Structure 1
């Protein structure tokens, strides 16, 4: 078993800043710089969102947890060998260098001074005029010289790196690409500011977010064998030291007795045993917190949990301590597992939960988790029905901003946790649901490119048609027995392609369901060649909703008027399938 000296919180500035032990990638490491534009773009987008939230005074966004790093740290702590975390630290250094160069490029005394400070504090410096350069991040043999030549060996006189060495390896080109990407993004942002003072403020704010806002957990090990074991655990078994692990470490830190530590371990055994995938535990932890406290973003979840629980534990441990929180977490985990697997034991409720899963409507779970802690599942059907109608009318069909829906549902979850009745919350949700006239208009124009959602909508309409015609065979949602059929094909044959093809192919009026396995050879056929599939289908949504109107028999071509006519008919059915009335109260 690996020996871990310690696992501690470190900001980016503490990992690669001056007066801290140098971080170097061992030469026997075969990892080179590997982040492509995709990863760099995600990194930049996350930094931008974090910076905006931090500047707006969002308490939950004071830190951005970016993941663990694994180091081999000798007892003398003169240097740290980096086994895991190279990509994030290298990319962060490249971004810091881009900020440095943007500051220098402003040609002002303050800009040049700030650029020099960034270089000396976070990239590289000389202790004395004749001393060798000290690099705060040292890459492995394959990238080391190139990284220094293009990023680290920066002149305070010229404001530039030598850049003598040409990219000779894929990793070199990726380093160049990442730097160019950041310079371009920073340049675009600076264009929004009219005066030099505002540009300096922007660059300084960006620097501060990186240096003091980006937070890692450094896992220090005494030897390479220990580090490799931790590395393999993280990367091969998929068990990151993420928010879940950080919360556990925090609870252990705050435990006042062996009994409390045992209570934490019991709760964590339940989490690890109760969910099939690590991602489900991460999602549960956020939804559990949201169900009690309202919205919080994933990247800031740990910092806000630590802050708020510390206040409770330090001030009133006898009223709400580590043991009470762990017990609450364990109980909620069991209910959450039942909710996401539609396994509560109440058949009607589980059928509705299957709809939530079919739509990937995760925003509903915090509300259901909060309510299930107050009343039995059998009493939650009106709440679930209203929530599903709200989600379908607002998000799936209406394509409205999902952020507002989430804020509303998360706020409702918090209200229940604070004592509001289920009936009160149902009434509130009914007030948020778009009315019938709005829903009809939305449905008539709706395109649903996501097949899981279109399958759900059509399956529910199919169930409604069967109930009306007293056909008792049930259509099961999302079990692979039915597939979404594009009547007018996704890839039509030559000469039959509609004008503005992309606007029509995913319209609900063009979609239906067929049983069995999808046959790709049939998909592109013209209507007369596959009409028998619809007419002979046992599914009423295919055989009885006017699919023949999509084809102009005389001119032998597809017609958009037929798509619109069928979609209007489906819209009238949809109003009854996902009602907005008060029948659930």
Structure 2
């Protein structure tokens, strides 16, 4: 059980104000800034509601409880290590900085004086002219310098921060986004006030609500292990992103030396620098574990990792420790980034990875990650192509339950990680691919409402048709360059609407590609009014696959038989584009 020294009420001003112990986010425990526009907007809406209620004078509205924070506080309280509450305190500091800058920008003596006071009392100050800056909130190594450069190192002469450091991590951009978001919201509110006097009143009221009205419960613990236990308990009900942070905290807790802690930080630095979004880090962490151990669901990922690694880390003598795990994690992160961005350097392999991305076939990544650990990308081409055929035939076109496919692929990844031969795994995947008869029947009936998957299927068929017809002109088929066209419109004129409209509009036989962006006014026309778009198209899937059969000239109406006939022809091409296991040999 965790030891809690005390839990006490603290206002925001008591947590990060001058003359209070400095709050420091330790390098070995906390995550970087992670609040997106969604969380910032909710925070601002809550502040505005609180201000309105507080100004009513009701005693019940005098304070706004914003949640607990967990700190590690020694016997001599000179500083506090913050384990939980970083997002709220950082966001609050960003909002205070936005108020400071708007006050300064008013260029009135009172506004500039208020801005200076806010900076000294709640953000950072110097005791003497030559003394170092004292920051009331110190972030961890991932964000510390950037936060100071853009939020805290503010000049009372120029009213600006140096802003020398460019954003290099997703968290840096989120810090700038939060600041810009608050600045816009405040400036919009100020437009309702007729003069500087009333604007100063509003800004002072906003500052006072934040500093004296926001209330936390500070849970003080004597050690990092106690704090970690409290942190995990609180965050067990938090958002999924906390899994990444819980794993890092766990690794720090299990580190036996400063060298191991440094190794963990190196690995996490690679994660933060290697991915554009935190969601990608979360996905990588799960796929990394799956690639070595088989399937595990996101909601139980942390508990599974902790239980398994504790068994290794606690052994005496220790064979596999924190350093070895961190090294594996860092190496895998680099390969994973190459896989999801299709940037391995092998042209053919990257082209196939582009197909995986176009389909959002994330289930393939653990297998590829596992296989790439000891094998070159060029040698994995057959594995990747077979996996794509399996995914298309089973999931995209067949619409079968994806759970079985994932279980198969994750099991294969685990086998590769434990020494199975690449050839043996490929053989198994080829056996899982639905046969031609099944795939052709599935394709003839397939509806693909998801635009990204429809675009992928049609683009691959187009590429095959061009190869088959020896057409060498290059046509860019990437997203944004072509659009999926419903030949029989999604919104036809009432007199041309087919019975059972929804069953036909997304059928593959009713879909084609046209260059450029979709024009809704053209898409909704009858066939004679847009036939020239198909016949004159440079795309063979539009000009040579019998689109004209979808329209009955004599009756001036759409033909479901034409949709079925065209889809049957496309299915014959699909058999070649995504071959079965028997065709592979």
Normalising by structure 2, what TM-score? 0.61
Residue 69 of structure 2 is matched in structure 1 by: 71
CA contact (8 A) 2:29 2:252 kept: no
| Structure 1 residue 239, shift from structure 2 partner | 10
Aligned equivalent of 2:430: 430
Cα distance 1:553–1:70, how it changes in 2: closer, same or farther (>3 A)?
farther
Change (3 A) 1:246 1:84: closer
The separation in 2 between residues aligned to 1:334 and 1:466, in whole angstroms, is 35
Distance, in Å, in 2 between the alignment partners of 1:303 and 1:573 is 47
**Normalising to structure 1: TM-score of the pair?**
0.61
The correspondence of residues 38-437 of structure 1 with structure 2, limited to 5 A, is 70-71=68-69, 242-315=242-315, 318-437=318-437
- Could you say which residue in structure 2 is the equivalent of 1:528? 528
- Asked whether the equivalents of residues 291 and 410 of structure 2 are also in contact (C-alpha less than 8 Å), the reply is yes
Change (3 A) 1:244 1:560: same
Q: In structure 1, the residue corresponding to 2:495 is in which secondary structure?
A: coil
* Alpha-carbon distance in 1 for matches of 2:394, 2:559: 29
What are the residue-to-residue correspondences of 1:483-494 with 2, within 5 Å? 483-494=483-494
Report the Cα offset of residue 84 of structure 1.
Answer: 10
2:579 and 2:329 map into 1 onto residues whose CA distance is 35
* Distance across 2 between alignment mates of 1:240 and 1:4: 21
Contact 1:463 1:474 in 2 (8 A): no
Q: 1:260 to 1:401 in 2, by over 3 A?
A: same
- Equivalent-residue separation in structure 2 for 1:258 and 1:8 (angstroms): 13
Deviation per residue, 1:527-574 (Å, 9 max, x gap)? 000000000000000000000000010000001000000000000110
1:230 is matched with none
Task: Give the Cα–Cα distance (whole angstroms) in 1 for the partners of residues 217 and 506 of structure 2.
Answer: 49
- Alignment correspondent of 1:550: 550
- Please list the CA deviations of residues 85-135 of structure 1 after superposition, one character each: whole Å capped at 9, or x if unmatched: 99xxxxxxxxxxxxxxxxxxxxxxxxxxxxxxxxxxxxxxxxxxxxxxxxx
Map of 1:183 onto structure 2: none
Do the aligned residues in 2 keep the contact of 1:7 with 1:220 (CA within 8 Å)?
A: no
Q: 1:398 to 1:241 in 2, by over 3 A?
A: closer
Counterparts of 1:489 and 1:327, CA distance in 2:
54
Where 2:314 maps in the other structure, the secondary structure is: helix
Aligned residues of 1:29 and 1:83 also touching (Cα < 8 A) = no
Tell me if the contact between 1:8 and 1:219 (Cα under 8 Å) persists in the aligned partners.
no
Equivalent residue runs for 1:459-498 within 5 Å: 459-498=459-498
Flag structure 2 segments of 5+ consecutive residues without an equivalent.
1-21, 31-42, 51-65, 74-83, 89-215, 221-237
- Tell me if structure 2 keeps the 8 A contact 1:71–1:219: yes
* Alpha-carbon distance, 1:3 to partner: 3.7
Q: CA deviation at 1:2?
A: 3.8
* Cα distance change, pair 557–347 in 1 and its aligned pair in 2 (3 A): same
Matched residue of 2:514: which SS?
Answer: strand
Tell me if the contact between 1:452 and 1:478 (Cα under 8 Å) persists in the aligned partners: no
Partner of 1:200 in structure 2?
none
Contact 2:28 2:252 in 1 (8 A): no
**Counterpart in 2 of 1:519?**
519
Kindly indicate whether the alpha-carbon contact (under 8 Å) linking 2:29 and 2:249 is maintained by their aligned counterparts in 1: no
Q: Distance in 2 between matches of 1:319 and 1:364?
A: 31
Shift of 1:474: 3.5
Q: Distance in 1 between matches of 2:70 and 2:244?
A: 24
Shift of 1:480: 1.2
| CA distance in 1: counterparts of 2:411 and 2:49, whole angstroms | 45
**CA shift digits 1:406-462 (9 cap, x unpaired):** 000000000000111111011000111000000000000000000000000000000
Which whole-Å CA distance do the structure 1 matches of 2:326 and 2:248 have between them? 9
Aligned Cα RMSD in Å? 3.0
Which residue of the partner structure matches residue 504 of structure 2? 504
Secondary structure (helix, strand or coil) at the match of 1:380 reads helix
Q: Partner residue of 1:569?
A: 569
The 1-side partners of 2:477 and 2:421 are apart by 31
Residue 520 of structure 1: CA displacement?
A: 1.2
2: distance between equivalents of 1:546 and 1:385?
29
Task: Give the Cα–Cα distance (whole angstroms) in 2 for the partners of residues 538 and 266 of structure 1.
Answer: 51
The number of aligned residues is 382
Which residue of structure 1 lines up, in the alignment, with residue 453 of structure 2?
Answer: 453
Residues 316 and 524 (structure 1), Cα distance of their counterparts in 2 relative to 1, 3 Å cut: farther
Equivalent residue for 2:36?
Answer: none
- CA 1:355–1:74 in structure 2 vs 1: closer, same or farther (change >3 Å)? closer
1:47-68 CA-to-partner distances (Å, cap 9, x unmatched) read: xxxxxxxxxxxxxxxxxxxxx9
- CA drift of 1:329 comes to 0.2
Contact 1:267 1:327 in 2 (8 A): yes
Matched-pair contact (CA < 8 Å) for 1:4–1:220: no
Residues 288 and 465 from structure 1, CA distance in 2 versus in 1: closer, same or farther, beyond 3 angstroms? same
CA contact (8 A) 1:4 1:221 kept: no
Change over 3 Å in CA distance of 1:408–1:535 after alignment to 2? same
1:478 deviates by 3.2
Q: 1:489 to 1:263 in 2, by over 3 A?
A: same
Over 3 Å counting, the alpha-carbon distance change for 1:219 and 1:568 in structure 2 is farther
| Structure 1 contact 486–505 (Cα < 8 Å) conserved | yes
Instruction: State the Cα distance separating 1:344 from its structure 2 match.
Output: 0.2
Aligned equivalents of 1:481, 1:74: Cα separation in 2: 55
Shift of 1:5: 9.8
Identify the range of structure 1 (395-404 vs 314-323) with the bigger mean alpha-carbon deviation.
314-323
Deviation at 1:472, TM superposition (A): 1.4
Q: What is the CA-CA distance between 1:516 and the residue it aligns to?
A: 1.1
* Contact 1:340-1:353 within 8 A present in 2 as well: yes
CA distance, structure 2, for counterparts of residue 410 and residue 257 of structure 1: 34
C-alpha deviation, 1:473, in angstroms:
2.7
| Gap change, CA 1:249 and 1:506, over 3 Å in 2 | same
